[in-house]
Structure 1
Amino acid sequence: MGMAEPILALDGAQLTLAGNAGPVEVLRGITLTVERGQSVGLIGPSGSGKSSLLMLMGGLERPTAGTVRALGHDLGAMDEDALARFRRGSMGVVFQSFHLIPTMTALENVALPLELAGAADAFDRAEAELRAVGLGHRLDHVPAQLSGGEQQRVALARAVVSRPEILLADEPTGNLDAANGAAVMDLLFDLRDRHGATLIMVTHAPELAARCDRVVRLLDGRIAADGVAA
C-alpha cells in the first residue's frame, strides 16, 4: 500500500461507563480515521457522546471495546505512565473551562508542560507562545487577573507550546462571548496552520464546524453523518 498511517484511527471503539442505574453505553462502536493535518468538527446533540469521543482520542478514557490508535500507538494497550508521556509529547487539549492553575502566572501555566518534559528553554518558549496569542503584556498575571477570553488564550498557548501533532478542543469557545469566541477560533486555526497540527474540535456552533475540513455528527453514541463541511 505505502499509504501513510492515519494520525488517528478508531475501530469499533465502545465506551461503557458505570451509571447510577447500571452501565451506560456512551459510545456504541465508532469506526473513524483522521488523516494528518485534517481538521474535524464533532457535532451532535447534548449527550450524543462528542466529548467522550474526544476523551478516547486523547487517551483520557480507555475504550471498553475496540481500538483507538494515535500516531501508530494503541492507546488502550498503554499503561497510565506511558499514556501520560504520550499525551504530553503529542497531544494538546483545550477545554471549555480553562483548567489553568490559579496560583500560577500566565507564563508559568504555559511553561508547565515543557517543564514537565524537562525542556531547558521552557520559559522562553512559553513567552513566545503567549506573545503569539497577543498576551505579551500579561505574562505575570494570574488567571483571576485575566478576562475569560485572555484565560482561554493562555489555555491555547499552553496546549500548543509543546508543538503537539494532535490538537483536541472541547467547546473551546463555550464560555466566551461572540467577539472573544471568534478571536479564539481564529487563533486555533492559525495555530493549526502554523504548526501543521491535526485539529479535532467538539462544538455546538455550526459556523465553527463549517470552518473544519470535515464534520462528524454523532447521535446516541454512533456516527450519524461524516463528510466535508457544508
Structure 2
Amino acid sequence: MTDALSLSNVSLSLRGNAGTVDILHDISLTVNAGDTLGLVGPSGSGKSSLLMLMGGLETATSGTIAALGTDITAMGEDDLARFRRDNMGVVFQSFHLIPTMTALENVATPLELAGHRDAFDRAEAELQAVGLAHRTHHYPAQMSGGEQQRVALARAAAPRPKLLLADEPTGNLDETNGAAIIDMLFGLRDRHGATLVMVTHSNELANRCDHVLRLRDGRIDTTLRAAE
C-alpha cells in the first residue's frame, strides 16, 4: 500500500523570549493513502504542530517528512508552496476566509492560482456540494460560522487534493453545525479519494477515523483504533 505520509524521527523546537521550547520529540509514523487519521490528546500536546509539519507549514528541527513520496523537509519555501497548492487541502479552525471576497471567489482563488481555466465552475460545484449554492455571492461577514466553515471546506476540496489536513474543523461550531461539518468532511474525502488527517477534541469525529493517534507532551502516547 502506498504511503501518503511518512515521518521519521521528527522533532520540533521553537525559540522564544523564554528560550527554546521543545514541542515534538522523535515522532515516527506512516499514513497509508486513502486512510483517515485522527490526532487527539490534551491541549498543548503538539497535535496542531504535528499537522502543520505534515503540511509543510512548519519546519522540523530534525528528522524527515515525506508527503506522497516527496521529501518536503528538503524543499525551499517556494517549492513547498507549489507542492501544497497542487497536492494538499488545509482546513483551519478559524476559517481564514478572505473577507473582501465572496464565497465563490474564496473557493475559486486557489484554483485560479493553480491555472485552472474552469476555476469558477469548479468552485460553484463545490459550494453546491456543501449546501451553499444560495450563498455563492455572499461575503464571509454575511454568513454564519457554520456556513463559513463550509466555504473553507469547499475551498480545501476544490483542487481535489491527495492530502486533506484539518485542524479542529468543528472547534468553533455548535453541536448541530459540527455534526454537519463532520459529515461533509468525510463526504469530501470519499468523493475525491483523499487521505484525511485531522486534529480534534471530538470523540465522535475521532471514532469515524480509520486510526487514532494520541499525543502527550509532544510524544506519541498510543495508537488506537478508536478514541477512548
TM (norm. structure 2) is 0.98
What are the superposed Cα offsets for residues 199-220 of structure 1, whole Å, 9 maximum, x if unpaired? 0010011111111010000000
Structure-1 residue corresponding to 2:20: 23
Sequence identity percentage:
70
Aligned residue for 1:7, secondary structure, equals strand
**Out of 136, 143, 146, which is 2:143 matched to?**
146
1:162 maps onto 2:166 in alignment: no
Pair 1:192-2:189 in alignment? yes
1:100 paired residue number? 97
Where do 4+ consecutive residues of structure 1 move more than 6 Å?
Answer: none
Q: 2:47 aligns with which of 47, 50, 73?
A: 50
Q: What residue number does 1:180 align with? A: 177
Q: Give the Cα–Cα distance (whole angstroms) in 2 for the partners of residues 24 and 16 of structure 1.
A: 6
Corresponding position of 1:131: 128
What's the CA shift string for 1:115-174, capped at 9, x where partnerless? 001111000000000000000011000000000000000000000000000000000000
In structure 2, how many angstroms separate the alpha carbons of the residues matched to 1:90 and 1:57?
12
Residue equivalent to 1:207: 204
Code of the residue aligned with 2:168 in structure 1: it is: E
| TM-aligned CA deviation for residue 10 of structure 1 | 0.2
Amino acid at match of 2:193: G
Partner residue of 2:29 out of 32, 38, 41: 32
What CA RMSD, in Å, does the superposition of the two structures yield over aligned residues? 0.7
Counterpart-to-counterpart distance in 2, 1:195 and 1:167: 10
1:66-81 matches, within 5 Å, as 66-81=63-78
Q: Which runs of 5+ in 1 are unaligned?
A: none
Show the counterpart of 2:81.
84
Deviations 1:157-204 (A, max 9, x none): 000000000000000000000000000010000111111111001001
Give the stretch that moved more between structures: 15-24 or 125-134. Answer: 15-24
Alpha-carbon distance, 1:21 to partner: 1.4
In structure 1, distance between residues paired with 2:54 and 2:96: 19
**Structure 2 unaligned runs (5+)?**
none
Distance 1:136 1:207 in 2: 28
- TM (norm. structure 1) is 0.97
Post-superposition offset of 1:228: 1.3
How far is 1:99 from its partner?
A: 0.1
Native 8 Å contact 1:62 1:75 kept in 2: no
> 1:210–1:229: 8 Å Cα contact kept in structure 2?
yes
CA distance, structure 2, for counterparts of residue 208 and residue 120 of structure 1:
35
Task: State the shift of 1:5 in Å.
Answer: 3.7
